[in-house]
Structure 1
């Protein structure tokens, strides 16, 4: 999500195994040039690939706001799923999701009263026409 028109994803780290079965889709995605195309469409994001043999693949997004990170496992996914994960990380704001516990309630109502769309029409008179 863009904050003031700037997407918050700063770095994208992709960890995968060079020969493991759970990383097959990642290797296919890299071989098809999907990551290169994604990088061309998002030039502000730094992309780092790190092979980790014997481990399951995951993507780690680092954000500008408060040095937040978000990690998503991409074990046994398809190349389309990996594309969706990259877009999901790019569109996030980087902040943690907080639950709104209580809505904002004021003990004193507004001195102006409640606004209605007919507020300006209270003192106007309308012409009366009879339809035959």
Structure 2
């Protein structure tokens, strides 16, 4: 196991601001498209801007969209979320379809979760002072000292006899018959 997770920020995986409890609040706040107007690596970004950017902005009025042309620089998308996370991704030589998919991923996620070291798998705002529940939480403590199987605790008296048990009884009966024959002689 590597220690690379030591350099990641630590946190909990939880829904931001109780999202989805009352109403859904989209987490993507701002998206910035940085591209070059003439560079060949920005062709996919320029195609996305020409064909799909207006539809994206109309369908998502809660997201602020910026375009930042830069000369002779590689295309980049920067997404900023409500929790303060910034997700930066290079779109160097990506096609129009790949950029469309990445924009959709950025729109639907809640921040840069992949770069977070999880402290626990569960998180709650109101932890219990009684401890975690287990299947034995409300069991009778008398079971701890009982000798099982016991009919008081639901022994398996109602189950039919197993084949092994039948063979054992037949063997014991055969031994008794042999010993009775020897004593009679």
Could you say whether these structures have the same fold, taking a TM-score greater than 0.5 normalized by the shorter chain as the test? yes
Q: Which residue in the other structure is 1:53 paired with?
A: 71
Give the structure with higher Rg (CA).
2
Distance 2:47 2:70 in 1: 16
Whether the aligned pair in 1 keeps the contact of 2:32 and 2:77 (CA below 8 Å) is: yes
> Comparing both chains, which one has the higher relative contact order based on Cα–Cα distances under 8 Å and sequence gaps of 6 or more?
1
SS at match of 2:113: coil
- Between Structure 1 and Structure 2, the one with more helix by share is 2
Is 1:12 matched up with 2:31?
yes
Following TM superposition, by how much is the alpha carbon of 1:96 offset from its aligned partner in structure 2, in angstroms? 3.1
Once the two structures are superposed, residues 24-58 of structure 1 have per-residue CA deviations (whole angstroms, 9 ceiling, x without a partner) of: 111122222x0111111111100000001111001
Structure 1 unaligned segments of length 5 or more: list them.
Answer: 114-121, 123-132
Give the count of matched residue pairs: 111
Q: Which residue in the other structure is 1:73 paired with?
A: 90
Whether the aligned pair in 2 keeps the contact of 1:72 and 1:85 (CA below 8 Å) is: no
Q: Which residue in the other structure is 1:91 paired with?
A: 108
Following TM superposition, by how much is the alpha carbon of 1:103 offset from its aligned partner in structure 2, in angstroms? 6.1
Once the two structures are superposed, residues 85-115 of structure 1 have per-residue CA deviations (whole angstroms, 9 ceiling, x without a partner) of: 11110111115333557767x6x874225xx
- Between Structure 1 and Structure 2, the one with more strand by share is 1
Structure 2 unaligned segments of length 5 or more: list them.
Answer: 1-14, 123-131, 140-153, 155-185
Q: Which residue in the other structure is 2:62 paired with?
A: 44
SS at match of 1:39: helix
- Taking only aligned residues, the RMSD between alpha carbons, in angstroms, comes to 2.8
Whether the aligned pair in 1 keeps the contact of 2:30 and 2:81 (CA below 8 Å) is: yes
Distance 1:35 1:45 in 2: 12
Aligned in 2, Cα 1:85/1:95: closer, same or farther, shift over 3 Å? closer
Following TM superposition, by how much is the alpha carbon of 1:75 offset from its aligned partner in structure 2, in angstroms? 0.9
TM-score, normalised to structure 1, is: 0.72
Distance 2:41 2:89 in 1: 14
